[in-house]
Amino acid sequence: MHPRLAELMRFLEEDLGYEDITTSSVLPEDVKALAEIVAKAQGVVAGVEEAKALLEHFNLRCRALKEDGEDINPGDVILEIEGSARAILMLERVVLNLLMRMSGIATATRRMVAIAQRYGVKIAGTRKTTPGFRYFEKRAIAIGGGDMHRFRLDDAVLIKDNHLVLVDIGEAIRRAKQVNFTKKVEVEVGSVEEAKVALEAGADIVMLDNLSVEEVEHVLTLVEQRGYQAIIEVSGGITPDNLESYAKLRPHVISTGYITTRAEWLDMSLRLRKR
């Protein structure tokens, strides 16, 4: 059983209501069908494992012709499905939505990873995800070759700008290290000066948020010259258009909400025929 089957079932319940009244009105229960899920765009497929879990839960036979992480082109068949026509039609939209959304994120991630990898830089996601759908969006990032970053607030210490309205950087780092001795402490900073303070205070990771290319270069030079051991993460407004200008500087990580908030869905369709 898929570990997220309960969530997949909730997606179906949202779409289904009490029943698919159209299909149950026009199709007898014993009608069998064959179906194919077909790509209509080029990209990276993701969500095959989840789609199969949901389809097989309703006793539909599935054969995956493409696995998660594989490249796909228009016309490629991703899944072959066989069984109850009613069940196939009931699940059609949820399965397609799942595959198209996850594949869009995986595709956007793969494109950015390809740029960053030239310079030995990791691409990471953020917590800018759809409420209730985070697991699937984060998994799509991983399928695309990215790092998922924090999944939940209890995964890591990340001191952000709103924390620093209430407590200064040095004190925040000191408190966080005292309480969370098993976890690294990351600090989000918005200027070169704040980065210097965070580095001096012993932050394990310094996130440079919305700094210019020149400012990021300044901080990285400082880290090299003074031998700081902190991981440097660049974030804020990173898109495929400006990614390379930051990646060339070789920070350790570039995190971006683009891959979840602006990734286009990868178009697919379900083709059905009577068995």
> Can you read off the two tokens belonging to residue 120?
């030995």
Residue 96 CB-half CA count within 13 A: 19
Each residue's pLDDT, cut to its tens digit, for the chain (275 residues) gives 889 999 999 999 999 999 999 999 999 999 999 999 999 999 999 999 999 999 999 999 999 999 999 999 999 999 999 999 999 999 999 999 999 999 999 999 999 999 999 999 999 999 999 999 999 999 999 999 999 999 999 999 999 999 999 999 999 999 999 998 888 999 999 999 999 999 999 999 999 999 999 999 999 999 999 999 999 999 999 999 999 999 999 999 999 999 999 999 999 999 998 87
Q: Is the distance from CB of 79 to CB of 270 less than 8 angstroms?
A: no
Q: Is 16 helix (H, G, I), strand (E, B) or coil?
A: helix
**pLDDT (0 to 100) of residue 114:** 98
**pLDDT (0 to 100) of residue 14:** 96
Instruction: Measure CA 31 to chain center.
Output: 38
Query: pTM score, two decimals?
Result: 0.96
Q: Which domains does the chain have, with CATH numbers?
A: 5-106+264-274 (3.90.1170.20), 113-261 (3.20.20.70)
Secondary structure (DSSP) of 59-101: T-EEEESS-TT-EE-TT-EEEEEEEEHHHHHHHHHHHHHHHHH
Q: Could you say which of 32, 40, 128, 183 is catalytic?
A: 128
Is residue 66 part of the annotated active site? The answer reads no
Q: Is the distance from CB of 257 to CB of 128 less than 8 angstroms?
A: yes
**pLDDT (0 to 100) of residue 49:** 98
**pLDDT (0 to 100) of residue 182:** 84
**pLDDT (0 to 100) of residue 273:** 86
